[in-house]
Amino acid sequence: MTATDAPPAKGGLKRFLAEQMRNIAPVFTLIALVVFFSTQSPVFFSVANGLNILANASITGIIAVGLTFVILTAEIDLSVAAIANAIGITMAFFTAQPDYVNIATIPLPGFIAILLTIAAALGLGSITAFGVTRIGIPSFIMTLAMMQIANGVSALLVRGQIAYIFPEFITTLGAGTIYGLRWSIIVCVLFFIVAHLVLTYTRFGRYVYMVGGNREAAEYSGVNVRLIIASVMVISAVCSGVAGMLGVAYFGSAQQNGFDDFLLTAIAAVVVGGTSLFGGRGGIGNTIIGLLVLGVLNNGLDLINIDSFLKILIRGLILLIALVINVYAQKLKESSG
């Protein structure tokens, strides 16, 4: 499921491994973690716990799909978690809440509420896209501003309250199950499949990789670079929006700061999986592995009853190691290519 399909060069196995390091290292990390936690905890290696890990990773996964597009073009989106929360809250805002929830809602039929909410996500993404591609604000700063704007929207809509009711369709997708399998996992997998197909088999996907690989060359080849960048920013916002809608249903509540952990986890998943921060390398396959690494790590650390404060530190260290590998792999690639 990786985008690097170049055959091993004549230089031999060493060079092939150097090129594939960003794909291989995360897989080995995942296997090592699974083996480690299986020996340390009797309940870790079971179907129930596996599904638990997947369910926990599914909301982050949808965010990470959009973020993968962004990072492949060598941009960044720091607003994903804030947009997810704002969109989740927007959906609650369009749904009738119980009397004890003191929010000035505009109740609409569920279907319309969902459409309007997705339109809101599109709108936020378009603002980011405009700022980055038309005005020329670096995505790092533009999405930082968008993060604050989305947080502001969230704050204004809920005013410190908590909303509990969402359209039925969304509640089913976010919290429901089918044959014991959570719908959110199925939705996340669908996002993976579609995103992978788009990145691998469509013209747009190729442009995403080429813009990330050498933006100047893409422009001199007549690729509309600004359109591609704008598109990935919008895709990221829409993915975040969908994750936000399912997420609030998954949590059972929409409130200020509901998605605080998700920004770091989503970026970490993409990078730990081996997608290059410099763009042009990696893909959905990498992101899936990255999500599983983080999911297994969080879950396993809970099961072996480790100091929960130490957990945060360990996550940070794992992220650091992944960054080192990411940058190192890029250097190997450059020196061998």
Binding-site member from 8, 11, 109, 152 for another protein (CB under 8 A): 11
Amino acid (one-letter) located at 56: N
Q: How many residues bind another protein (CB under 8 A)?
A: 33
Q: Kindly tell me which of 226 and 311 has the beta carbon lying closer to another protein.
A: 226
Is residue 294 helix, strand or coil? helix
The pattern of x and - marking residues 141 through 180 that bind another protein according to CB under 8 A reads ----------------------------------------
Question: Residue 116, class by beta-carbon neighbours within 10 Å (0-12 exposed, 13-18 middle, 19+ buried)?
Answer: middle
Member of 109, 123, 252, 337 binding another protein (CB under 8 A): 337
Q: Tell me which residues in 253-282 interact with another protein (CB under 8 A).
A: 280-281
Least distance (Å) between residue 223 CB and another protein: 6
Least Å distance between CB 212 and another protein? Answer: 10
Enclosing H/E stretch for 54:
helix 47-72
Name which of 99 and 334 has its Cβ closer to another protein: 334
Task: Closer to another protein by CB, 91 or 225: give it.
Answer: 225
Ranges within 76-105 binding another protein (CB under 8 A) = none
**Three-class DSSP category at 282:** coil
In the block, tokens 């986890």 appear at 265
d(CA 324, CA 321): 5
By beta-carbon proximity to another protein, the closer residue of 8 and 109 is 8
How many whole angstroms separate alpha carbon 129 and alpha carbon 35? Answer: 43
**Cα separations (Å) of 158 from 90, 97, 112, 278, 305?**
9, 11, 20, 38, 36
Binder among 48, 222, 308, 309 for another protein (CB under 8 A): 222
Q: In this structure, are residues 173 and 114 in contact, taking their beta carbons and an 8 Å threshold?
A: no
Q: Output the smallest distance, CB 226 to another protein, in A.
A: 7
Specify whether the CB–CB gap between 67 and 84 falls below 8 A: no
Q: Is 112 in the site for another protein (CB under 8 A)?
A: no
Q: How many CA atoms lie within 13 A of 212 on its CB side?
A: 27
Q: How far apart are CA 158 and CA 155, in angstroms?
A: 6
* Token pair recorded at residue 103: 């929010």
Residue 223 binds another protein (CB under 8 A): yes
Q: If you search the block for the tokens 């730990």, which residue do you land on?
A: 272
Task: Compute, in degrees rounded to 10, the torsion defined by CA atoms 34, 181, 243, 111.
Answer: 180
Judged by CB under 8 A, the residue of 7, 98, 160, 180 near another protein is 7
Stretch that binds another protein, among 116-124, 169-177, 211-219, 291-299 (CB under 8 A): 211-219
Residue 226 sits in the site that holds another protein (CB under 8 A): yes
Choices 34-42, 44-52, 157-165, 203-211; region in contact with another protein by CB under 8 A: 203-211
**Residue 193 found at the interface with another protein (CB under 8 A):** no
Question: By CB under 8 A, is residue 235 in contact with another protein?
Answer: no
Residues contributing to the site for another protein (CB under 8 A): 6-7, 9-11, 15, 201-203, 205-207, 209-210, 213-214, 216-227, 280-281, 333-334, 337
